[in-house]
């Protein structure tokens, strides 16, 4: 897929600088070309969905943005400026927060320690302020998941959904401008999924840009402004959700062709 | 110093339901004492009682407790560092050999190198301190180097330190040309145990200060919890804990103070100062300096583990290295730090161990790697990483040393002693696994 087509697919008014531009990103693991020349962008207050088969390269692509992997080639621009993201720490400096598919929690630590991992609140003497961290954790959890009570237990003692809410809390607690959510609702029940959907809408209303990965096409049609479909590491296409039907997206995922652009 | 300007979090919850009523708690859970700690203390008490019966009361005499204490110090100091290593999913097999190298450096420094190069006469006040400094530096640098091989060059710690086990033992040999170096400086020897103690008054003063510090620490933890509106233990539970801490500290001091310096040693001391010993003079040994060193190490290591970012990162990395990395933790440099800390502690142990022997010998620290690892593991450090406590490792070292010297007193021959210690190690890990399965978690 070429860049011109991606640009054409982007319906945004000319002149507005995208929050994030991923340009011609490629990365290979050994022989596997996990991401192959993919370009997508994200605007403030926009939710862009990433769809595709297992192994299509979705997680790998966003891990490049979150600093977990280093791309082989390509360019990342944040607010129009070329961004150097070589580590998760770099990504945090650009206010990029990520909820990883694997949740990336330290099982042996409690919710507060996980929430603040790498960004501990410290006292004047430089010691970790556990009481303050716990208080902050209580505050945010009361809003995200009011049933959450196991604050002093290692997160290994939590259910999948509770662990997910810790990961989500960590991503939204800090001053995120760009939020990456890799299958945030995979482990959640109906009620919790609805809560995450509400959360996404509200964060979007606050002007965050969100990359959302999910296999639930219907959910994606509801939450996203645009969806990008990947197959075998390549971008099949990016479309505004109002321009396509669920069937169009499914056929993009399955056939790897964009019915809107390439006549069948 | 966090710059957490929290996003205004949208409220997705309609109501804040009141917390469910807490179920009636048992006496122990109200005290909030770690069950594992209780189990280890129980095991230790059991060992003591059994040997005391078998030895007709000779095991729990002040003299034997004093000896047990000073024999435990060296391994216990290293075990606290081994906790960090094992928590981060590594291992260090080189500590015994590294102890020999550090000991050799310090012995050579104070007896040969410094006197030869700086012209300091033997017995000069600066010698022991410069020697200790050099030993600390050597231990820390070698530890950091091994950590670098593990963290940055990704050679498994098992291999790096297995190589280290061979290398450092024999580097020590070359440093000393295979000779026993001694006697060591008198001030230096004061760190060995019996040759340097606080005496009765000093020990009581120390005990009172330590007890006061413990009370303050417990109360300030409570205050900080209360300040944030968290539930705190009932007052009586807090009082019981404070009582236990104070009694334990002062009881320990009383025990060590009960061990009196034999009359002939006192006479010799007085004679050395050209004095006549007054009739009926008694003196207590009190707390050995080496034990003070261990206490200081234990406090510092516990603070690092619980209260600093470094400690948090050590445990996070052990629990989930990928998550730690994704949270922006430099796990490679962390590995260097952890090995460097153990290296420094090994050097401190080398001071204590060589001072106790009053000289440096080639075989110093032999098999210590196994004792140290066993102490950490018996103390509840999980080899799968992420779990371990400093106090556990010290208790583990104490339990092992009690077993060993208890069996020696009973007259168990050496081969059987080792068989028992080996069995206890395996059994302790089994019990730990079963315990963890019961309480849930990994
Ligand atoms: N660290 C890695 N080392 C080697 N290969 C990898 C690595 N990470 C991903 N891959 C490969 O890259 C490809 C893309 O994987 P990726 O995890 O990005 O897929 P995905 O689209 O997120 O799939 P899913 O829907 O299952 O989460 C796969 O073929 C995978 O095997
Ligand atoms: Mg994925």
Q: Give the model's pLDDT for residue A64.
A: 96
CA B380 – CA B29 distance, rounded (Å): 20
Backbone phi and psi for residue A68, each to the nearest 5 degrees, phi listed first: -75, -35
Q: Is the separation of the CB atoms in B219 and B241 below 8 Å?
A: no
Average pLDDT, chain A: 88
pLDDT in tens, A121-143: 999 999 999 989 999 999 998 88
| Residue B24 vs residues A88, B27, B32, B35, B236: alpha-carbon distances, Å | 45, 10, 14, 18, 16
Spatial separation of the C-alpha atoms in residues A255 and A211, rounded to whole Å? 23
Q: Is the pLDDT of residue A60 over 70?
A: yes
User: Predicted ipTM?
Assistant: 0.86
pLDDT of B35 reads 78
Nearest CA in chain A to B304: A127
B323 and A126 within 8 Å at the Cβ level: the answer is no
Interchain pair A116, B2: CB under 8 A: yes
Are the beta carbons of A140 and B6 separated by less than 8 Å? yes
Structure tokens at B119: 């012209």
Tens digit of pLDDT for each residue in A90-111? 999 999 999 998 878 999 999 9
pLDDT on residue A262:
60
- Total-model pTM: 0.88
Q: Phi then psi for A254, rounded to 5 degrees?
A: -80, -45
Looking at residue A189, what is its pLDDT? 82
Strand partners, A179: A97, A210
Q: What are phi and psi of B418, to 5 degrees?
A: -65, -35
The rounded percent of chain A whose pLDDT value lies above 90 is: 61
Which pLDDT belongs to residue A144?
A: 82
Environment of ion ligand 2 (residues, CB < 5 A): A 59, 101
The stretch A140-166 carries a mean pLDDT of: 85
**Mean per-residue pLDDT over chain B, rounded:** 88
Give the residue from B423, B362, B402, B413 showing the smallest Cα distance to B177: B362
Give the single-character DSSP code of B87.
H
Q: Is the CB of A32 under 6 A from ligand 1?
A: yes
Residues of chain B short of pLDDT 50, as ranges, are 1-23, 441-442
> Residue A28 forms beta bridges with which residues?
A33
> For chain A, which domains are there?
6-95+176-261 (3.40.50.300), 108-174 (no CATH)
Instruction: Please give the residue that has the higher pLDDT: either B22 or A249.
Output: A249
Option in B7, B307, B313 nearest A206 (CB): B7
More confident residue, A116 or A3: A116
**Edge-to-edge, what's the strand order for the sheet holding A96-99?**
A96-99, A178-182, A209-213, A47-52, A226-231, A234-240
Query: Residue A59 C-alpha to ligand 1 middle, in angstroms?
Result: 7
Any idea what DSSP says for residue B206? Answer: H
Q: How far apart are CA A127 and CA B308, in angstroms?
A: 5
Q: Choose the closest CB to A113 out of B16, B312, B317.
A: B312
Are the beta carbons of B328 and A92 separated by less than 8 Å?
Answer: yes
The string over B328-345, giving b where at least 16 C-beta atoms fall within 10 Å of a residue's C-beta and e elsewhere, is bbbbbebbbbbbbbbbbb
CA angle B342, B379, B345 (to 5 degrees): 15
Q: Does A122 touch chain B (CB under 8 A)?
A: yes
| Model confidence band, residue A172 (pLDDT cutoffs 50, 70, 90) | confident
> B20: distance to nearest CA of chain A, Å?
10
What does the pLDDT read at residue B274?
79
What is the predicted pLDDT for the residue at A3?
42
Q: What is the pLDDT of residue B221?
A: 84
């Amino acid at each position: 897929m070429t860049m011109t087509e991606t640009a054409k697919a982007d319906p945004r008014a000319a002149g507005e600088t995208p929050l994030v531009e991923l340009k011609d990103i490629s990365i290979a693991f050994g022989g596997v070309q996990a991401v192959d020349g993919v370009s997508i962008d994200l605007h403030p207050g926009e939710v862009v969905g990433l769809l595709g088969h297992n192994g299509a390269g979705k997680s790998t692509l966003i891990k490049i943005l979150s600093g977990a992997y280093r791309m082989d080639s390509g360019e990342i621009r944040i607010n129009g400026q070329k961004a150097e993201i070589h580590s998760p720490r770099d990504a945090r400096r650009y206010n990029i927060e990520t909820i990883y598919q694997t949740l990336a929690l330290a099982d042996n630590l409690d919710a507060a320690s996980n929430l603040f991992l790498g960004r501990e609140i410290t006292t004047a003497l430089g010691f970790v302020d556990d009481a303050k961290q716990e208080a902050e954790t209580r505050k945010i959890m009361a809003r995200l998941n009011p049933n959450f009570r196991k604050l002093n237990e290692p997160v290994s003692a939590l259910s999948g959904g509770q662990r997910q809410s810790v990961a989500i809390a960590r991503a939204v607690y800090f001053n995120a401008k760009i939020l990456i959510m890799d299958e945030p609702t995979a482990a959640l029940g109906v009620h919790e999924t609805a809560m995450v959907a509400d959360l996404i809408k509200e964060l979007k209303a606050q002007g965050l840009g969100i990359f959302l990965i999910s296999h639930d096409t219907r959910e994606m049609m509801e939450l996203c402004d645009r969806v990008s479909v990947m197959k075998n590491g390549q971008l099949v296409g990016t479309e505004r959700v109002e321009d396509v039907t669920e069937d169009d997206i499914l056929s993009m995922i399955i056939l790897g062709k964009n019915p809107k652009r390439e006549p069948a | 110093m966090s710059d957490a300007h929290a996003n205004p979090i949208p409220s997705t919850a309609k109501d804040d339901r009141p917390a469910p009523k807490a179920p009636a708690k048992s006496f122990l859970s109200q005290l909030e004492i770690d069950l594992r700690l209780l189990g280890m203390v129980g095991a230790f008490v059991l060992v003591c009682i059994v040997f005391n019966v078998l030895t007709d009361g000779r095991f729990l005499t002040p003299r034997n407790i004093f000896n047990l204490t000073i024999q435990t110090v060296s391994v216990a100091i290293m075990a606290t560092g081994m906790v960090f290593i094992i928590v981060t999913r590594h291992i260090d097999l080189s500590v015994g050999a590294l102890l020999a190298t550090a000991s050799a450096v310090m012995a050579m420094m104070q007896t040969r190198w410094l006197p030869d190069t700086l012209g300091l006469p033997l017995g000069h006040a600066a010698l022991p301190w410069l020697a200790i400094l050099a030993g600390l530096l050597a231990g820390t640098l070698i530890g950091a180097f091994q950590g670098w091989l593990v963290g940055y060059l990704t050679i498994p710690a098992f291999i790096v330190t297995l190589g280290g086990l061979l290398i450092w033992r024999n580097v020590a040999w070359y440093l000393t040309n295979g000779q026993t170096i001694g006697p060591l400086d008198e001030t230096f020897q004061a760190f060995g145990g019996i040759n340097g103690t606080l005496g009765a008054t000093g020990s009581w003063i120390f005990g009172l200060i330590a007890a006061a510090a413990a009370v303050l620490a417990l109360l300030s933890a409570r205050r900080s919890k209360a300040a944030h509106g968290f539930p705190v233990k009932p007052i009586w539970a807090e009082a019981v804990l404070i009582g236990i801490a104070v009694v334990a500290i002062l009881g320990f001091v009383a025990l060590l103070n009960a061990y009196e310096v034999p009359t002939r040693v006192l006479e010799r001391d007085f004679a050395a100062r050209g004095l006549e010993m007054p009739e009926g003079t008694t003196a207590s040994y009190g707390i050995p300096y080496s034990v003070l060193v261990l206490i200081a190490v234990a406090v510092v290591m516990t603070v690092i583990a619980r209260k600093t970012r470094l400690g948090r990162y050590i445990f996070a990395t052990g629990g989930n290295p990928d998550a730690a990395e994704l949270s922006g933790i430099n796990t490679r440099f962390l590995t260097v730090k952890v090995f460097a800390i153990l290296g420094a502690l090994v050097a401190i142990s080398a001071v204590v161990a060589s001072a106790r022997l009053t000289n440096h010998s080639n075989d110093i620290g032999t098999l210590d790697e196994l004792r140290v690892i066993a102490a950490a593991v018996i103390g509840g450090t999980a080899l799968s990483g992420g779990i371990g406590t400093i106090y556990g490792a010290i208790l583990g070292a104490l339990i092992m040393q009690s077993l060993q010297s208890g069996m020696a007193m009973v007259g168990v021959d050496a081969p059987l002693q080792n068989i028992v210690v080996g069995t206890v190690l395996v059994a302790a890990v089994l019990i730990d696994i079963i315990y963890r399965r019961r309480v849930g978690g990994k």
